A = this chain, B = another copy of it.
Amino acid sequence: MELLKTNGNLIKLFAPKLKKGGSLYLFGKPDCIDFIDYRPFLKLNSKIVWYQPSRLAQGRKNYTNNYDIICYFSKGEPKTFNLDDIRVPQLVELEHRRRCENVPSVKNGKWGKTRFNNKGKNPGDVWGDIKQLTYKSKELVSRNVLNTIQKPEKLIERIVKASSNIGEVVLDPFIGVGTTAVVCQKLNRKFIGFEQNIDFITMANKRLEELENEQKYSFSFY
């Protein structure tokens, strides 16, 4: 319940800072916005399910929780949704979709112009293709941030790509070890981050320096 109050306050606090058409993503467990009336502040577009199929935890008294929710809000209608930058491979669905396109009701009905897109498909609102970091991940900056603090770059990249354009500003009020900063640096977005833990800030700055050196190095080839 404390967390719910916190999330409600976050929405109230950050919504006025957001530009019209801007996006806000809130991470949490499945119940993270239950009972919070966000409607006076923001529009909820999606509750994205970030799904981890291979958790060890195996409860005996309930269906084991295997996912987190990412609430995708916007201030009014979203100004930016760069679908083409976040398309994912069709993979197993390819054959299914090809078959669907030949169904008479699809062919001749109101979906007659629906065609399989070779550039890939909308990632949808269930993301099972991005694994949480493990103790083996090269990305992991410290064991202390495993499974709680550090998020995979791929996850933040999808969000930053979808909801911002090059040169725009991304704010991460709980930036931790700096994943959002690193992603923004790579994708040519500006960023602002807040963090209370001084060790995390040190790690974040180290990551940014390393990235800058890599970027310099790779430029020298061209």
Contact = CB atoms under 8 A, between A and B. Distances in A.
Interface of A: 30-31, 33-35, 37, 44-49, 51, 53-56, 58-67, 72, 78, 81, 83, 92-93, 96-97, 100, 103, 105-106, 111, 114, 117, 121-126, 128, 135, 162
A60 B114 CA distance: 13
B46 A65 contact: yes
Given A31-B44, A35-B35, A47-B31, A93 B61 contact: no
A125 B33 contact: no
A62 B49 contact: no
How many copies of this kind of chain does the complex include?
2
Given A31-B44, A105-B135, A124 B54 contact: no
Contacts of A48: 63
Main secondary structure of the interface of A (DSSP, over half): loop
A61 B48 CA distance: 14
A30 to B, nearest CB: 4
Contacts of A117: 58
Contacts of A114: 56, 58
Contacts of A83: 60-61
B34 A62 contact: no
A56 B122 contact: no
